[in-house]
Amino acid sequence: MFDFNFDWRPDMETKIEVLDQQHMQLFRIGRDIEQMLRVRCMGVTEIQLLGIVCELRDYAAYHSYQEEKIMKEAGYSGYEEHKKMHAVFSSDIEKINMPKLKENPEEGLKLIKNKIQEWVFEHMLIEDMKMAEEIRNHLKLKK
Ligand SMILES: [Fe+2]
């Protein structure tokens, strides 16, 4: 996977504020991981690793819930399919093995970083954008 920094850019916005706030939150977690990798995980503690994993699990849960609620309320045409993608992401995050991560934080964090990166490029910037466009048009029509 190519090198990517979690620097937020305005063209990544869905223009649905609550979703953008949450997407930025994911980038913040991504940047925390970058920081740790930059020093090759030197001095990184088990508590810090656990913090990253917990934040990601929380994120997958609250963000999926919020986005699915918005999609459902707006009657988004791709709702079911989109929901399935969230379930796959959540289950990937659930599978992060804490003892293994503790054993080799650098390797583990690289894998997690790649997973988030893949999610950003394959889901957030494509599927979420597609969904947000339809929802924005739907809201405009309702006005
Ligand atoms: Fe999504």
Instruction: Specify the pLDDT at position 4.
Output: 81
Q: Report the candidate in 57, 58, 56, 82 with the shortest Cα–Cα distance to residue 68.
A: 82
Where do the domains of the chain lie, and which CATH numbers do they carry? Answer: 16-142 (1.20.120)
Task: Using alpha carbons, list the distances in angstroms from residue 28 to 44, 55, 70, 113, 116.
Answer: 17, 10, 23, 12, 11
- CA-to-CA distance for 96 and 56, rounded, in angstroms? 10
> Ligand 1 centroid vs 94 CA: distance in angstroms?
17
> Ligand 1 centroid vs 5 CA: distance in angstroms?
20
143 pLDDT above the threshold of 90 = no
**Using an 8 Å Cβ cutoff, are 113 and 33 in contact?**
yes
Instruction: Specify the pLDDT at position 3.
Output: 72
3-state secondary structure of 104: coil
> Ligand 1 centroid vs 142 CA: distance in angstroms?
23
Give residue-wise pLDDT tens across range 131-140. 999 999 887 7
Instruction: Specify the pLDDT at position 1.
Output: 56
Token pair belonging to 12: 């990544």
pTM: 0.93
